[in-house]
Structure 1
Amino acid sequence: MSFPPAYRPDPVFARLGDDFSDPVDPANFPAAELRFWNDRWDAAIGLGALDTAAREAHFQRFDALPDNQSRPRAMRYHGHQFRTYNPDLGDGRGFLFAQLRDDQGRLLDLATKGSGQTPWSRGGDGRLTLKGAVREVLAAEMLEAQGVYTSKAFCVFETGEQLARNDEPSPTRSAVLTRLGHSHLRFGTFQRHAFEGAADRIDTLVGHAIEHYFPQLAAAPDAPAALLAAVVEQSARLAASWMAAGFVHGVLNTDNLNLTGESFDYGPWRFLPHYEPGFTAAYFDHQGLYCFARQPEAVFWALQQLATALGVSGDRSTLEAALNTFPELYRTALLDAFLARFGVASAGEAADEVLVRSFLAFMEASKLPWEAPFHDWFCGEASAARAMAGPRASSYTGEAFDAWRAALSAHAPVRSERLDHDLFGRAEPVSLVIDKVEACWDRIADGDDWSGFNGLIADIRDAGKGFDLGRDRLGFRP
């Protein structure tokens, strides 16, 4: 079939050669049942016209897209896992399938999860459970609706294999997922080449990253420090947006953070049921290293490891200066993220800080569901009558609430016409706590009933339209 002009292939990473990735073959799956296709994003990258046969060919068998990578490539990287360095990492059950440009010229990746074994599988089967794929779709959709800069689940095929797993009933169904993202260059990509003492490869990666992701830095006299400063800024925004979303990633290892500050790779994630600073997502995070409140610390620590890797070829003093901008950038980004979620304008830095502090104090005292006040009080006092007549009115009382409401009332609504959306006629907010995810999965597992999954995605997308937070905030949107 012919591809439209919106399809703009540009497989630049493969051109870096075998020092950075390995050509691999996808698994030969016995079945191809399309379970999810992202019709919000396919046209933006020129793939909206693919018919059923073409979708299966390119996203289940992974036949090469025209003028793109001739073979998938498993990316090479290392990383700290729970702060222990692991030199045996790399794409173990996924690969970079293709790269293309969107209508604004940005380089995007199509990369997989569950597509088979690679040289970095470390004895694993290279597969993904269907439940894992369902969870990733839901996480990406919810974060996108909340204005978080996130990769998108592009498609999911159920693949007809039975998998054995320790963390869910086995045998369990299998799937392969393709995600659409704005870079899979991980912090650990740099760490691998630093570990091997390959300053020339670090320089190559720095140049590659600046050319394709940060072209505004092309003339920077100190390229490694300039790149790090940009990554620090993006990462501060990411950490702040997770906090405002009440999202717990679960595994913030250095191989799960990338240069563009885009959230990706959703394994044991959770959304807060209510405000709990020590809430963890991963059952194996026994020390709470990546709990909700420690996520900014985890991102900053990972940035320190990236700075160390860049130090193989860069100037350590300028790298340190770039790194140390994180705390202030994060503080500012956190205020911005909460203001966006409240739907109100800044009233000045001091007032904004009071707003966030008083909100967290109220949430700790009330134990309300995390999403409830954002739904009930969106645009501040413009929602007061609705909130005080709603199902949680009895919770909106007391000293902690009065302090938060006073702080909120000092902030003017932003685009209060958003309240006309039918989202705000609903009594309950759209949320994605674990009980909803499990109920959705149970219907699939017990009766192959996908109506709950499809309905949940429709609700999440409707919420995204209602809040209209400017998805991704960096312009990566349909």
Structure 2
Amino acid sequence: MTSFVPPIYELGPDFYDEVPPAQFPQAILRYRNQSAAASVGLGALTPEQWQAHFWKFESLPQNIKAPLALRYHGHQFRSYNPDLGDGRGFLFAQLQAGSRLLDLGTKGSGRTPYSRGGDGRLTLKGAFREILATELLESYGVNTSKTFSVFETGEQLQRHDEPSPTRAAVLVRLGHSHIRFGTFQRLAFLNQPENIKKLLNYSVKHFYPALTPLTETELAAAFLREVSYAMAKTVAAWMMAGFVHGVLNTDNMNITGESFDYGPYRFLPTYDPAFTAAYFDQTGLYCYGRQPSAVLWNLHQLGNALQVAFPDLPVAEVLDDYGDAFNFETQRRLLLRLNLRNPLEEGAAIYDLNSELVAHLFQFLDQEKGLFEQTLYDLHSGAIPERLERSPQKELYQKESFKKLKETLSYFEAAETEKKQHPYLHTGKACSLIIDELESLWKPIAENDDWAPFEQKLEQIRSFRGLYG
């Protein structure tokens, strides 16, 4: 049997720095994602082995020998920052799951050359928030990284945005690549066209292998186009989940389109295009309604970086399809969330009816300020009278404003009968995670180390996994 060689080594030391993990005083396991572990062949690890690998960071057999802090730059709120890189995390391992190359990366694992004076640590509340974000987004059908492991470390941290001292944790996430837009931007900033080509070939080989037969002149355009399609799918899924990422900087964009790195995120209480997640986003640059355009701007920065190695790359032309891809994916995601099928057969007619559904839904949400997630829950499989009647916002569905949406829904059919009867849909109340509930789940942990409400929430979130695709 051929030994596994982590592909990251193909890139070489121009792309990363070996770093030592922090040594923590305590190891209190707070979260183990057993299903994710089983998916990459690590489900049988004993508690002692789990601690050795994901708290002490002893390397996995035949894997990365020493943790690697990856080098990258990026635009942060559209200002270029060349002083980035993995400042409190590292790439710990790479794993092959079928045809997919997956990475185990960390957050809160100690200082690196890119810590910029920070302590390299993560608060326990930050880890708690990331667990909930990844679990809920997965159940909503969003392409997301998976929180893999969380240990509380026994340290006390000082933070300006949390009551301090506050408890510390170290998190491991499983993701489909840690190559960021900013990884390419760094190479462009340093004027390293050959390294850009090396990184492009690595990215294509391991994440877009169908592009491998293309010539070098064709490859950059095809790669950029595929990344733009992947991002269009993800942003559409965010919008249909009522999710606001909060910090859509280019160093938070992944070349596979996978959503990751959850800081000051929020879920919409009610529909509001100007709803902003981060308290420091005072201009609303990354508000809910601007997320599609923010990602397109980031894609242009990726294209600009590729042009350093491929000067003839027609970036604007390649990205011209992004808007159409986003609109198509928004329609597709809404139909998945509502378990609906368009019965029409002609392409233009299908698109027009789907567009009407999207428009009428958001007009209704805007006019009546109904609960975002509850409304999508209530309309699952169509405007079913029994479901609308037991909704906590049933009075909204009696209003004149609902008639147009109700009529549009009547043209669709339920896509999957078994989903129409899912037990989750009989509870009458949607599972959401607006900020007040998030804080109410954290309060018993902070005050009494009571994790029971958190565990109950995870059970509820997992109870409808697969319902939304």
TM-score by structure 2 length? 0.96
Mapped to 1, the partners of 2:243 and 2:9 lie a distance apart of 33
Deviation at 1:17, TM superposition (A): 1.3
Which deviates more, 456-465 or 232-241?
Answer: 456-465
Q: Of the candidates 295, 319, 334, which is equivalent to residue 299 of structure 1?
A: 295
Q: Percent identity?
A: 49
Partner-residue secondary structure (3-state), 1:440: helix
2:31 is aligned with 1:29: no
Match of residue 260 from structure 1: 256
Partner-residue secondary structure (3-state), 1:288: coil
Q: Of the candidates 182, 195, 204, which is equivalent to residue 188 of structure 1?
A: 182
Match of residue 415 from structure 1: 416
Mapped to 1, the partners of 2:100 and 2:355 lie a distance apart of 35
Match of residue 201 from structure 1: 195
2:236 is aligned with 1:235: no
Deviation at 1:318, TM superposition (A): 3.2
Match of residue 158 from structure 1: 152
- Change in CA separation of 1:433 and 1:46 when aligned onto 2, cut-off 3 Å: same
Mapped to 2, the partners of 1:391 and 1:278 lie a distance apart of 25
Deviation at 1:364, TM superposition (A): 1.1
Partner-residue secondary structure (3-state), 2:228: helix
Instruction: Tell me, yes or no, if the aligned pair for 1:153 and 1:177 is still in contact at 8 Å.
Output: yes
Match of residue 475 from structure 1: none
Match of residue 54 from structure 1: 49
Mapped to 2, the partners of 1:285 and 1:225 lie a distance apart of 33
Mapped to 2, the partners of 1:454 and 1:115 lie a distance apart of 25
- List aligned pairs for 1:40-439, cutoff 5 A: 40-102=35-97, 104-221=98-215, 222-346=218-342, 347=344, 348-381=350-383, 383-439=384-440
- Change in CA separation of 1:130 and 1:9 when aligned onto 2, cut-off 3 Å: farther
Partner-residue secondary structure (3-state), 1:77: coil
Deviation at 1:390, TM superposition (A): 3.3
Mapped to 2, the partners of 1:415 and 1:10 lie a distance apart of 43
Instruction: Tell me, yes or no, if the aligned pair for 1:249 and 1:266 is still in contact at 8 Å.
Output: yes
Mapped to 1, the partners of 2:419 and 2:385 lie a distance apart of 15
Mapped to 2, the partners of 1:319 and 1:305 lie a distance apart of 9
- Change in CA separation of 1:9 and 1:373 when aligned onto 2, cut-off 3 Å: farther
Instruction: Tell me, yes or no, if the aligned pair for 1:9 and 1:101 is still in contact at 8 Å.
Output: no
- Change in CA separation of 1:402 and 1:423 when aligned onto 2, cut-off 3 Å: same
Q: Which runs of 5+ in 2 are unaligned?
A: 345-349
Mapped to 1, the partners of 2:313 and 2:67 lie a distance apart of 39
Deviation at 1:458, TM superposition (A): 0.7
Mapped to 1, the partners of 2:311 and 2:413 lie a distance apart of 45
Partner-residue secondary structure (3-state), 2:163: coil
Partner-residue secondary structure (3-state), 2:94: strand
Mapped to 2, the partners of 1:411 and 1:420 lie a distance apart of 17
- Change in CA separation of 1:393 and 1:120 when aligned onto 2, cut-off 3 Å: same
Instruction: Tell me, yes or no, if the aligned pair for 1:377 and 1:384 is still in contact at 8 Å.
Output: no
Deviation at 1:317, TM superposition (A): 4.4
Mapped to 2, the partners of 1:390 and 1:170 lie a distance apart of 40
Partner-residue secondary structure (3-state), 2:308: coil
Mapped to 2, the partners of 1:190 and 1:317 lie a distance apart of 15
Mapped to 2, the partners of 1:249 and 1:268 lie a distance apart of 7
Mapped to 2, the partners of 1:251 and 1:45 lie a distance apart of 29
Which deviates more, 27-36 or 367-376?
Answer: 367-376
Instruction: Tell me, yes or no, if the aligned pair for 1:225 and 1:314 is still in contact at 8 Å.
Output: no
1:362-398 deviation line (CA, Å, top 9, x unaligned): 11112111111221120114x3322134332211022
The count of residues paired between Structure 1 and Structure 2 equals: 460
Partner-residue secondary structure (3-state), 1:463: coil
Mapped to 2, the partners of 1:329 and 1:390 lie a distance apart of 34
Amino acid in structure 2 at the alignment position of 1:198: Q
Mapped to 2, the partners of 1:290 and 1:162 lie a distance apart of 31
Mapped to 1, the partners of 2:313 and 2:96 lie a distance apart of 36
Mapped to 1, the partners of 2:393 and 2:399 lie a distance apart of 13
Deviation at 1:10, TM superposition (A): 4.6
Mapped to 2, the partners of 1:316 and 1:262 lie a distance apart of 28
TM-score by structure 1 length? 0.94
Partner-residue secondary structure (3-state), 1:351: helix
Which deviates more, 334-343 or 92-101?
Answer: 334-343
Mapped to 2, the partners of 1:118 and 1:229 lie a distance apart of 34
Instruction: Tell me, yes or no, if the aligned pair for 1:186 and 1:257 is still in contact at 8 Å.
Output: yes
1:263-285 deviation line (CA, Å, top 9, x unaligned): 00000000000101100000000
Instruction: Tell me, yes or no, if the aligned pair for 1:144 and 1:464 is still in contact at 8 Å.
Output: yes
Amino acid in structure 2 at the alignment position of 1:413: A
Mapped to 1, the partners of 2:5 and 2:325 lie a distance apart of 33
Mapped to 1, the partners of 2:157 and 2:391 lie a distance apart of 46
Instruction: Tell me, yes or no, if the aligned pair for 2:390 and 2:428 is still in contact at 8 Å.
Output: no
Mapped to 2, the partners of 1:379 and 1:68 lie a distance apart of 46
Partner-residue secondary structure (3-state), 1:325: helix
